[in-house]
């Protein structure tokens, strides 16, 4: 891995950690605990996706269940209805 790739990953991670920290601190004071939990979970997933993209690692996107589950069902329905 190249030095610039490591630096990009480090900067991205630091930025996301800072963003998560400051916004979760605000939500802890002013928001609902459910909002805080959902925000942190979404940001952790987003951070993982960003790092996986930068590193070229395999990652599961939100569309993965649609591709694996709903596409075959849709093709089966098309065959039955046509």
Cα distance between residue 35 and residue 33, in whole Å: 5
Domains of the chain: total: 1
Cα distance between residue 35 and residue 47, in whole Å: 18
For residue 62, report the phi and psi dihedrals to the nearest 5 degrees: -65, -25
Cα distance between residue 71 and residue 78, in whole Å: 10
Domain span holding position 70: 3-81
Where residue 79 falls among pLDDT bands split at 50, 70, 90? very high
Give pLDDT tens digits for 40-67.
999 988 888 888 888 888 877 777 777 8
Percent over 90 (pLDDT), the chain: 18
- Give, for 1, the enclosing helix (H) or strand (E): none
């Amino acid at each position: 891995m190249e030095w610039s790739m490591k630096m990009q990953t480090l900067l991205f991670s630091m930025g996301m950690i800072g963003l998560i920290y400051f916004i979760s601190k605000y939500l802890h004071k002013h928001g609902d605990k459910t909002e805080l939990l959902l925000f942190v979970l979404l940001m952790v997933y987003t951070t993982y996706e960003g790092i996986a993209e930068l590193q070229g690692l395999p990652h599961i996107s939100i569309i993965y269940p649609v591709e694996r589950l709903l596409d075959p069902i849709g093709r089966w329905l098309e065959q039955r209805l046509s």
